[in-house]
Amino acid sequence: MAESSSSSSTEELVRLIKRLGAYVTFKISNLFSMPLRNLDSRSIGAIAGLAIAIIFTWRAIRTPGEHQRRQPKRRVPTAGSSSSDSQSNIATNPPDASLSHEDTRVQNQALGHIVRRKLSEGRKVTCRLLGVILEETDPEELRKQATVRSSVLEVLLEITKFCDLYLMERVLDDESESKVLQALESAGVFTSGGLVKDKVLFCSTEIGRTSFVRQLEPDWHIDTNPEIITQLARFIKYQLHVSPTKPERTAPNVFSSPSLEHFFGNV
């Protein structure tokens, strides 16, 4: 509707210019038909003024038309195009994915800070497997299967980033040992680079685990056996006793928690 109105206005202006041009042409022909000696300065000025008027009038009329042609046509979004554009923007910058990645990074940084603070910047940690890293709580169960607790993985991997970690356990046979190593590998414990299979130690007695800890001289030892915790209290700087119930009496350097992840607040 607006385009037809603009077109008719332009046609009217063109016809007006043509009539004006015809009139000017007639006047100029009359003036030039006179001998040049009869033309005075006023006549010459009139001719120049008419010519200038024609030029400026034509430019004034032509400029809006050219401006309209050069002006990009405004796109009116339709329901289909709007939906398509939205989907394109979402595909280019998926907000949920970026926010999820950012949230994960911030959470990992926070957990890493808590791990360092809780361990008092300790550089070496020893930890038993049963009841702490594994779902199983008795060596007899390892003959059938070994299952890594999913809730402890995040904390465990953070510890390996800052500490020299050794895992240890009493096993009854070589098959149990293989099941434990396979479970740890399947859980991705060895992929972070902080823990290798050589740092997973096995023994046949509880005394053997105590001997491992004494030889390694860690800053922290984590265990579920209260007797071992008591025996090592004099030799190890800090210990964490993982137990569902809090012991009545503990040494000043022994802490208690229902689980390893609970101790770091990652529950």
Please tell me the predicted confidence (pLDDT) of residue 192.
Answer: 72
- Whether residue 127 contacts residue 155, with contact meaning beta carbons closer than 8 Å, is answered with no
Query: For the segment 166-216, what is each residue's pLDDT rounded down to a tens digit?
Result: 999 999 999 999 999 999 999 999 987 679 999 999 999 999 999 999 999
The answer on 141 and 226 residing in a single domain is yes
Confidence check: pLDDT of 101 > 60: no
Domain residue limits at 191: 108-263
pTM: 0.61
Mean pLDDT over each residue of the chain, to the nearest integer: 78
Strand order in the sheet with 124-128: 200-203, 164-170, 124-128, 220-223, 238-242, 254-257
Tell me which of 87 and 217 has the higher pLDDT.
217
Q: What is the pLDDT of residues 191-205, one digit of tens each?
A: 876 799 999 999 999
Which two tokens mark 258?
A: 């229902």
Distance of CA 126 to the CA centre of its chain: 34
Q: Which residues of 88-104 are buried (b: 16+ CB within 10 A; e: fewer)?
A: eeeeeeeeeeeeeeeee
The residue ranking higher by pLDDT, 75 or 43, is: 43
What's the pLDDT score for residue 18?
67
pLDDT of residue 95: 45
Q: Which of 70, 98, 119 is the last residue of a domain?
A: 70
Count the domains in the chain: 2
The residue-averaged pLDDT of 60-70 equals 49
118 shares a domain with 49? no
Q: What 3-state DSSP class applies to 202? A: strand
**Are residue 17 and residue 112 in the same domain, yes or no?**
no
Give the helix/strand (H/E) hosting 222: strand 220-223
The verdict on 151 and 231 lying in the same domain is yes
Could you tell me which residue, 246 or 21, shows the higher pLDDT? 246
